[in-house]
Amino acid sequence: MAERSLSLQDHFLNSVRRGKVPVTIFLVKGVKLQGIVTWFDAFSLLLRRDGASQLVYKHSISTIMPSFVPDEFTPAQVHVDVGSKAVLQDLFLSAAARDNEGMTLFLVNGVMLQGGVAGFDQFSVLLERGGQMQLVYKHAISTLQPAHPLNLGQNDGEDDA
């Protein structure tokens, strides 16, 4: 049976869990949680602090920021086929990562984040700034604005993003 490749989110969470790296989690409502991720699945994660654990549902999380990037963590390069079936957000994020373009993200709660797109998957974007990485869940993002226009690889005669 072929091994299933890990999503960016799973790889990130596995790295901080294995390394017992302290993380700061911001919820969509603005609440700040801190602790160590001890377990996670597709829908939730277990955060431990001062000997107590709390279950946090991923749909309530906007960002996860480790106190440092674990040595074993390297975001995989994302390749998006530019064909007619490519999804716009994948083309956009792939171009931003490829061009190392600065990006401003606005979250649904009004928070503004800035950095470069280091990677992405179906549910999350990895933002890098000054050696720090932050996993941002797409459900918490309202707008992404690059510092400069991106070449999305579509030659349809219209201006790109």
The per-residue pLDDT for 2 is: 39
Determine the Cα–Cα distance for residues 102 and 127; give it in Å rounded to an integer: 10
| pTM greater than 0.85 (yes/no) | yes
pLDDT digit string, tens, across residues 133-158: 999 999 999 999 999 999 887 654 45
Domains and CATH numbers, the chain: 8-66 (2.30.30.100), 88-146 (2.30.30.100)
Residue bearing the bigger pLDDT, 119 or 72: 119
Closest residue by Cα to residue 7 from 75, 85, 70? 75
- Least Cα distance to 62 among 127, 11, 10, 18 occurs for 127
pLDDT in tens, 97-123: 999 899 999 999 999 999 999 999 999
